[in-house]
Amino acid sequence: MGETKNAELTLVIVKPDGLKKSLTGNIITRLAETKLVIVGSKMVRVSRDLAVEHYKHLQGKPFFEDLIKYIMGEYHTKRVMALVYGGADAIQKVRDICGSTNPEEAQPVSIRGAYGRITTKGVFENVIHASANAEDAEREIKLWFGPDELIDPIYPMVEVEETIRRKKWK
């Protein structure tokens, strides 16, 4: 993938409504149309800190608090699936299949158009997150994944020595 022209990484999140609606397989199948490569994937229980950092560009919007609750899974299930896709023009290819942010405006064949809804509180429950541009993608991938969790990390890395407490199997 590193050799590919215009190689990019993009972050995809199957949001809690997507998991609750059993759409994970469907979404991964749809995204396979792009011929992009999955370079990282994991299930995440989203903390408040992660949610606020991820959506910090929307702080101050009337729907912000509900959006944080939504991505933390307060309304559906407390988990998301985070994936990183890589390849030529990854960001735009994934966004095209996702569709517009507002599920009512999204193409009916897009993921958001087919499965999203607008709640009575006005939040777009649109099933999937996808990075909007290169700057967002890099920021978001670095927020959600460490270098060791990606097959082909394309961003510069440093090695550090540190003492950490971590869980091991008994």
Catalytic annotation, residues: 129
Name the one range near ligand UDP by CB under 6 A: 86-94, 122-130, 146-154, 160-168. Answer: 122-130
Q: Does residue number 52 form part of the binding site for ligand UDP (CB under 6 A)? A: no
* Residue among 31 and 128 whose Cβ is closer to Mg ion: 128
- Tell which one of 132, 138, 139, 149 touches ligand UDP (CB under 6 A): 132
Sketch the per residue contact string, 89 through 108, with ligand UDP: x for CB under 6 A, - otherwise.
Answer: ------------x-------
Query: Any idea which residue has 């009512």 for tokens?
Result: 104
Binding site residues, ligand UDP, CB under 6 A: 58, 63, 67, 101, 123-124, 126, 129, 132
